Structures are given as C-alpha cells and as structure tokens.
Amino acid sequence: MLESFFKDGAERFTPPPWAVEESHRRIVLLLNHILMQEPQARERLVRQKGRKLLAQWQNFSFKVMVTPAGLLDLAPSQVPVDLTLTVSESSPWVLAQGLFKGEKPAVRIEGDVQLAAEVNWLADHVRWDIEEDISRIVGDAPAHMLVQACRNMLSALKNFVMQKSPPTTPASPSESAA
C-alpha cells in the first residue's frame, strides 16, 4: 500500500518550474559547499571543466556543468550533455530501502567514460561532514548531540523501512540440503 502511494504520488506530482529551478540551485550550492571542503575532488573535476552531466530519475532531471574551478553550475537546458546517469529503480520505496542499506542505486550510464569515472570516484570518496558545519554555528558539543540524535532517528527510520520490506522467501528444504 505504501509503495503504491509513493508510486502514484511521484507520477501525479509536478512542481512549478520556478520551484524546480530554485531546488536545482540549492542542490548546486550544497554540492559546491561539499566540494569546497575536498581539494582532491575539485582537482579531479578541474580536468573535466566545461563537461555537462544529466542525472535523472523518473520525471525528475538535473543538469549541471563543471566550472573551471572544479565546482558545479546549472547547465542550460538546451545544451547537449557529455554524460547521462539514469536511476533505473522506479519505486521510491525500493530506492529508499537500498539507500538505507548503504547500497548504490542501479544506474544506467551513457556517455563519456572518463567523466563517469570521476563521478564514481566522487560518489565513493566525498562525504559531507555535517557535524563540522553545524559546530561552526552552535559549537562542538551541541553539534555532536544534534547529529547523534539525527543518527538515532535515522536508525529508527531504517529499522522501520527494513521491517516493512517484503519478506524474502526461504530456501526450500531440498535447496538447503544441496
């Protein structure tokens, strides 16, 4: 039931263009904030300057280009892309379950191999140290407590999602004897 709600909701929901553009700008700001903390990531992206990347899932898409500084900027919608990453899983519920398990979603990759390798390296090695950012505002101890509380809530949500996942079918007695 919950899965059908998410599926039907994703197909019905079409945000206004201004909200889509603003959300894309906010995502670019967040990604650049994270990249600014990782000099090696920026060095790798500088080698890909001017390249364009399209990430898409269902009806949602996000097009960025690499700047000469090794950061990201929104790419104009009409320009061709060098790399397209398409998340294959159509169900947001199944996608969330995989992410909670720490799995990368299945992605179809089309385009430039070197840019794809750099994006894969970024996904594997770049992490946002949110606790460090929060500590700049409220101090180290409160930031640690806040992040720990969020981790506890995320863990509880993860347990809930895992409990709601469809049960796996056990092996039949003949298969387990083999």
50-87 pLDDT tens trace: 999 999 988 888 999 999 999 999 999 899 999 999 99
25 in a structural domain = yes
**Strand ranges of the sheet holding 60-66, from the earlier edge strand across to the other edge:** 72-74, 60-66, 52-57, 83-87, 107-111
Going residue by residue through the chain (178 aa), what tens digit of pLDDT does each one get?
Answer: 445 555 555 556 788 889 989 999 999 999 999 999 999 999 999 999 999 999 998 888 899 999 999 999 999 989 999 999 999 888 887 887 777 677 788 889 999 999 999 999 998 888 777 778 788 888 888 887 887 888 788 788 777 877 776 655 555 444 444 4
* Prediction pTM value: 0.69
Q: Could you give the CA distance from residue 90 to residue 70 in angstroms, rounded to a whole number?
A: 31
174 in a structural domain = no
Task: Note whether 43 and 110 are same-domain residues.
Answer: yes
Q: Could you give the CA distance from residue 87 to residue 121 in angstroms, rounded to a whole number?
A: 17
Please tell me the total count of domains within the chain.
Answer: 2
99 in a structural domain = yes
Task: Note whether 78 and 107 are same-domain residues.
Answer: yes
Q: Could you give the CA distance from residue 152 to residue 158 in angstroms, rounded to a whole number?
A: 10
CB proximity list for 146: less than 8 A, separation 6 or greater: 134, 138
Range of the domain at 141: 131-165
Task: Note whether 139 and 109 are same-domain residues.
Answer: no
